[in-house]
Amino acid sequence: MRRLRADYSELLWVLVAAVIGLTVPGPGRALDRHQAVNIVLAVLVFAAALTVPAAVGSRLRRHGLRLLVLTAVSSAAVVGLAWLVSRFVEAGSLRFGVLAVGLAPVEIATLGVAPLGGGDSLASGVMLIGSTALTALFAGPLVALLAGGTDVHVGDLVVTLIVVVVIPFALGLLIRGRLGPGIRERAATVAAAAVTVLVWLVASQARLSSAYIAVVVALAVLIGVSAVVGAALGRLLDPTAGRSLVFATSMRDFAVASGIAAAAFGARAAAPLGLYGILVMLWGTGLAGTLPRRSAPDAD
């Protein structure tokens, strides 16, 4: 049990937060009415930017084109897969929540999880930056295209992405080198706490019913097929970067997805993202624990 708590502490906190949110939803729903999700999301994005490896610029200059192209291809594949699996879910807010997963960038936690599975932290950083830029540019038009004529608050979505994703992420990248040694560790702690709070807030929006069975199935299929796509594309990279692409493709950021869902479709659409957060953390930590470790370069 001590080893379990040490190796999977973030996952355990996520599970506890989800249970509290599902069983005692009142406080989380009250806070959500005061933009709590967006506030915590902005904190998480800012903290995550501070954890991006300092040498990511060198990696981007030397190998960035191939990494960014494959990030774009894998992100496009995830959009299509999310749209397909969302058809498993009855029309309405739950379907839109599943769809929002495909529009989210790479899960911020991959910066820590991928190296545990023999991935490359610098490649993960490049993929995170590239996918975040893609989300900022294309999430609005894609939501309008894929929602099938449903009323979509594209203006609200664009403002949300700029205020709580683009600005905090850019600010974190700009100042991280000026904050001294140890900032990555402290920022990682803040990010882990923010993830836990977000799971609690998002899980509070869920009103569990039999419809959630289809949601869980759809999300599990999305994660599994995305991993296969990532593994296939990863063969075009060196082994450690290829492993990072598997994590990046199969782990999308549930927090940003919840922000997209809430801004575009309303708070009810964010409810499935708490379940996705649990599934994706289980998947990522489980995969990292089963893959044989390789030494991943942190600088070129």
66 falls within a domain: yes
The overall pTM is greater than 0.85:
no
Cα–Cα distance for residue pair 153/143, rounded to 1 Å: 9
Q: What angle do CA 108, 18, 5 make, to 5 degrees?
A: 70
283 falls within a domain: yes
Cα–Cα distance for residue pair 164/158, rounded to 1 Å: 10
293 falls within a domain: no
> Rg of the chain's alpha carbons, rounded to an integer?
18
192 falls within a domain: yes
Indicate if the alpha-carbon torsion angle 72, 67, 45, 3 is positive or negative. positive
The band of 119, judged by pLDDT with boundaries at 50, 70 and 90, is confident
297 falls within a domain: no
**Is 165 in contact with 131 (CB distance < 8 Å)?**
no
Q: Pick the residue with more confidence: 263 or 84? A: 84
4 falls within a domain: no
Average pLDDT over residues 156-164: 80
Give residue for tokens 């009810």: 268
127 falls within a domain: yes
The band of 75, judged by pLDDT with boundaries at 50, 70 and 90, is very high
pLDDT at 221 over 60: yes
Q: Mean pLDDT of all residues in the chain?
A: 83
pLDDT at 71 over 90: yes
Cα–Cα distance for residue pair 224/296, rounded to 1 Å: 24
Average pLDDT over residues 128-148: 85
278 falls within a domain: yes
Average pLDDT over residues 116-134: 86
Average pLDDT over residues 42-53: 84
Residue type, 258: S
**Is 48 in contact with 191 (CB distance < 8 Å)?**
yes
With a CB cutoff of 8 Å and minimum separation 6, the contacts of 226 are 74, 77, 78, 81, 249, 250, 252
Total structural domains within the chain: 1
**Is 249 in contact with 78 (CB distance < 8 Å)?**
yes
Average pLDDT over residues 37-61: 81
- Give me the CATH number covering residue 176: 1.20.1530.20
Q: The tokens of 152 are what?
A: 């979509």
Which residues constitute the domain of residue 192? 10-288
Closest CA to 67 of 277, 237, 222: 237
Q: The tokens of 5 are what?
A: 């708590």
Residue type, 48: A
Closest CA to 103 of 264, 245, 266: 264
Cα–Cα distance for residue pair 217/88, rounded to 1 Å: 8
pLDDT at 298: 46
pLDDT at 299: 43
Q: The tokens of 16 are what?
A: 């506890």
SS3 content of the chain, % helix, strand, coil (to 5): 80, 0, 20
Q: What is the pLDDT of residues 196-214, one digit of tens each?
A: 888 788 778 777 778 889 9
